[in-house]
Structure 1
Amino acid sequence: MGSDDAMVSPGELEQVMREAGALAMEYWPGAGNDVESWEKSPDNRVSEADLAVDRYLHRALGDLAPNAGWLSEETADDTARAEQRRCWIVDPIDGTRDFLRGRDGWCVSVALVEEGQPVLAALEAPARGQTWLARKGEGASLDGKALSCSDCAQLAGARVPIHDLPKTDRDLAKVSQPNSIALRVAMVAAGEADMVLTMRWGAEWDLAAAALIASEAGATVTAATGEPYRFNKPEPRIFGVLATAPALHGPALERWGGRAGEIANKAARPSGFVN
């Protein structure tokens, strides 16, 4: 069992994540299972799998770091957690749409945040047989193999996981897009994509784990406006993500940063968070 002063090891977190992934697979329609789901807000579905995995993680991660706070998409938020030095930030199933459709573009996302910054992170994508791990200052891995982002240095031809590109951005190259934003950012970490950009309000649980994995693989990761992330805030919302190969971040901000700022300023205060 961990303690508040002892760092949880990647191996301890990996074991919990594998069990969480196995639990999620018991509900996944892609394996022939039936799962109950409903809308918790417009265009934002949740399933019994999300809640079951959330309950398991709350218990198991609490055993690893019993004095850490808790922030999860599927748990009512107690903002007192923002006063704690450490906090677990969890999305039990990131990419619920793909999960419910029986597609493999979803994962379990967990990060341990300390003083506002992720220090340990994991993504478990059991339908893909993938486990992503990162520890601050020690690099990132996929199934035990060290990760390194690409060295792409120009926007023309840069690979982006997206379904359709606007006419103005067709100098970019499309690659397959999983529903999970965490997996899209992880693709940058693995050199499978060169850039991910989203320009909408989201939540800390969408990106806390993936941000550490990508940055430990050498990528540059910020909010869509270029601002650095800080996690475990009293109001855990964030505006988009810009995760890129290092040389692309500046050119990407030059092209899209102004637009992102305008959208962030004009967007209505979100009433919920959409995966």
Structure 2
Amino acid sequence: MNDREVARRVALGAGKVLVALRESSGASGRALGAQGDRASQAYIRRALARLRPDDPILSEESADDRRRLHAGRVWIVDPLDGTREYSEGRADWAVHVALVVDGEPVAGAVALPAYGRVRVSGPAPAGTPCPNPDLTILVSRTRPPEEAARVAARLGAVLVPMGSAGAKTMAVVEGAAHAYLHAGGQYEWDSCAPVAVARAAGLFVARLDGSRPIYNQPNPWMPDLLVCRAEVAARILEALEVAQRPGTRLNGHAVAH
């Protein structure tokens, strides 16, 4: 079984565990979210121990295994991306499973269990064209970044809030939006699997300064990310550069820094 299939099977299986738990548990709110985190983490750890026993794991829901820093292959997982959305009964949550080799996500899967589908990294055709004529940028529903508001003002874009980094990235892959822009705080597990899938689909992926995200770092903090259609990447990066310049005025209004 190749690594992409491992990622797909593990993400799909964890998603089934989460759906069953939400349907059967009498818990709600934070208690349900905590149960979901634990159940999905336990499933993923067991599955990877069986399928790839020699590979370390970096996960949001477990202690950092520092062996990963000296390993050629590391699995980076988020057992439940969008715990708040999951606990609220929403659909925009995901399971992330990705394999990183020498800092690069080489295989990944993002399961969207509430929608009944899973996206896997390549081989994949170019992403579906976005039918919306207005430039649409997805942002966090709880922490929409100021950078996105500045870009939207510069480009006349529409900001659409959505939960889960995985759900937002897959919406761009599937053509429901042009871009996903995040700033202000994330970790490697929030974006690793979505980045693997997005790159395989031909999307542009970068940090907000335009640099390439590198994974399996000693500190897994990765606070910002841009995933977008290739045809709008230059416009968004230019707007980000302008928006971050001291004294910039957007649509006649001075930008505070």
Aligned pairs, number: 238
Aligned to 2:92: 105
Aligned to 1:120: 107
Superposition misfits of 4+ residues, deviation over 2 angstroms: 10-18, 31-39, 149-152, 161-170, 257-262
**Using a 3 Å threshold, how does the CA distance of structure 1 residues 166 and 62 change in structure 2: closer, same or farther?**
same
Aligned to 1:69: 56
**Using a 3 Å threshold, how does the CA distance of structure 1 residues 78 and 46 change in structure 2: closer, same or farther?**
farther
AA matched with 2:12: R
2:158 matches 1:173: yes
Q: Secondary structure at the match of 1:235?
A: coil
Aligned to 1:35: 27
Normalised TM-score (structure 1): 0.77
2:48 matches 1:24: no
CA contact 1:68–1:88 (8 Å) conserved in 2? yes
Separation of aligned partners in 1, 2:149 and 2:41: 37
Q: CA deviation at 1:261?
A: 9.0
**Using a 3 Å threshold, how does the CA distance of structure 1 residues 106 and 260 change in structure 2: closer, same or farther?**
farther
**Using a 3 Å threshold, how does the CA distance of structure 1 residues 157 and 13 change in structure 2: closer, same or farther?**
same
Q: CA deviation at 1:259?
A: 4.9
AA matched with 2:17: L
Normalised TM-score (structure 2): 0.82
Note the 1:106-185 alignment, pairs <5 A: 106-135=93-122, 138-139=123-124, 146=125, 148-150=127-129, 157-162=134-139, 166=149, 169-170=152-153, 171-175=156-160, 177-185=161-169
Q: Secondary structure at the match of 1:88?
A: strand
Unaligned runs of 5+ residues in structure 1 are 40-44, 140-145, 263-275
Give the share of equivalent positions with the same residue, in percent.
27
Q: Deviations over 1:177-224 (max 9, x none)?
A: 431011101111111110111111210000000011111111100112
AA matched with 2:201: A
Structure ranking higher in helix proportion: 2
Q: Deviations over 1:51-104 (max 9, x none)?
A: 111011011012222111110000011222121000010000001111010001
Q: CA deviation at 1:248?
A: 1.5
Structure ranking higher in strand proportion: 1
**What root-mean-square deviation, in Å, do the aligned CA atoms of Structure 1 and Structure 2 show?**
2.8
Separation of aligned partners in 1, 2:245 and 2:71: 30
